[in-house]
């Protein structure tokens, strides 16, 4: 059975503030949640009351599985000045450590048409090798997320799982991996089984939403028993973030995926 982690930016919003969403998720039977940026410097994330959030996590015994790095769209390649990302990285790691969160989700930012794609990918390798050296000893894993450019993130550099895997292999650290998002991959028309076979154990985290639409499982065209079966066959047994836009009440929206995950 997979551990499911509702995204508290999108789910259980009817409960109120973020710490109350944690409690609502716990009441609904979840022992994990995920979120976007902790300080809310990037829209659409909102600032969190971090002491209250920590108290809710501890009170309910809920695990925070992932948070986003800030600033989120950190890399325009070129220019080569990425000092703000590195400045904020230490703050993000300190927050993750305090909240007991083992992963920070990082991205590629936007590409630049005047430079060859391979040059930009190799630059990402350099950036993240430096980041891993900076946070050495923290125990925090950085997970690189490729996102679709067809619908949600036009202009992003990394839109292919295989290229994120290339970067992660170049970084070559046990504390750096890939976030495989089933929704983004499906929107890009990727073959899930082939991508996961290529990625192997470098996949450190998984998120999902249905496609098309980015709603809860059951609102799109994806076969979720098949998808989670592929995931299990690929050897992934970690948590799965529920990062979707619900079309109904949060607790009702999780019914299908909870049922499928229970037998996956």
Query: Which residue in 30, 207, 182 sits closest to 105, CA to CA?
Result: 207
Instruction: Give bridge partners of residue 60 from the DSSP assignment.
Output: none
Residue in this structure with the two tokens 């950085």, named with its chain if needed: 142
203 Cβ contact list (under 8 Å, min separation 6): 177, 178, 179, 180, 196, 234, 236
Phi-psi category of residue 174: left, alpha or beta, with phi > 0 → left and psi -120 to 50 → alpha: alpha
- What are the sequence ranges of the domains in the chain? 4-263
CB 89 within 8 A of CB 37: no
Q: Which residues pair with 151 in a beta bridge?
A: none
DSSP string, 126-145: HHHHHHHHHTTTS-PEEEE-
pLDDT for res 38 = 97
Q: Would you say the C-alpha torsion 16, 21, 23, 27 has a positive or negative sign?
A: positive
Give the chain's length: 264
Q: What is the pLDDT of residue 173?
A: 98
Write down the H helix ranges in 6-82: 18-27, 50-60
Q: Which two tokens stand for residue 60?
A: 């309910």
* CA–CA gap between residue 115 and residue 179 (Å, rounded): 25
122: number of Cβ within 10 Å: 14
pLDDT tens for 79-101 read 677 888 999 999 999 999 999 99
Which CATH architecture does the domain made up of 4-263 adopt? Alpha-Beta Barrel (3.20)
In a 3-state reduction of DSSP, which class is residue 255? helix
Which pLDDT does position 33 carry in this prediction?
98
Regions of the chain with pLDDT less than 50 = none
How much is the pLDDT for 178?
98
- Enter the pTM of the model: 0.96
């Amino acid at each position: 059975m997979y551990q499911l982690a509702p995204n508290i930016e999108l789910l259980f919003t009817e409960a109120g503030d973020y710490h109350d969403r944690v409690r609502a998720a716990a009441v609904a039977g979840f022992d994990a949640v995920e979120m976007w940026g902790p300080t809310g410097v990037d829209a659409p994330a909102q600032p969190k009351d971090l002491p209250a959030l920590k108290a809710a996590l501890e009170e309910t015994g809920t695990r925070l599985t992932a948070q986003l790095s800030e600033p989120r769209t950190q890399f325009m390649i070129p220019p080569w000045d990425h000092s703000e990302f590195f400045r904020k990285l230490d703050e993000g790691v300190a927050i993750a450590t305090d909240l007991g969160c083992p992963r920070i989700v990082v991205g590629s930012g936007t590409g630049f048409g005047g430079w060859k794609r391979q040059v930009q990918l190799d630059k990402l390798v350099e950036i993240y090798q430096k980041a891993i050296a900076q946070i050495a000893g923290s125990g925090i894993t950085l997970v690189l997320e490729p996102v679709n450019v067809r619908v949600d993130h036009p202009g992003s550099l990394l839109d292919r799982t295989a290229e994120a895997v290339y970067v992660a292999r170049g970084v070559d650290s046990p504390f750096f991996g890939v976030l495989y998002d089933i929704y983004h991959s499906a929107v890009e028309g990727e073959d899930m089984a082939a991508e996961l076979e290529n990625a192997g154990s470098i996949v450190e985290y998984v998120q999902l939403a249905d496609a098309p639409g980015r709603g809860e499982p059951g609102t799109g065209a994806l076969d979720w028993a098949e998808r989670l079966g592929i995931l299990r066959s690929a050897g992934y047994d970690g948590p799965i973030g529920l990062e979707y836009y619900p079309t109904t009440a949060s607790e009702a929206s999780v019914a299908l995926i909870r049922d499928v995950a229970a037998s996956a």
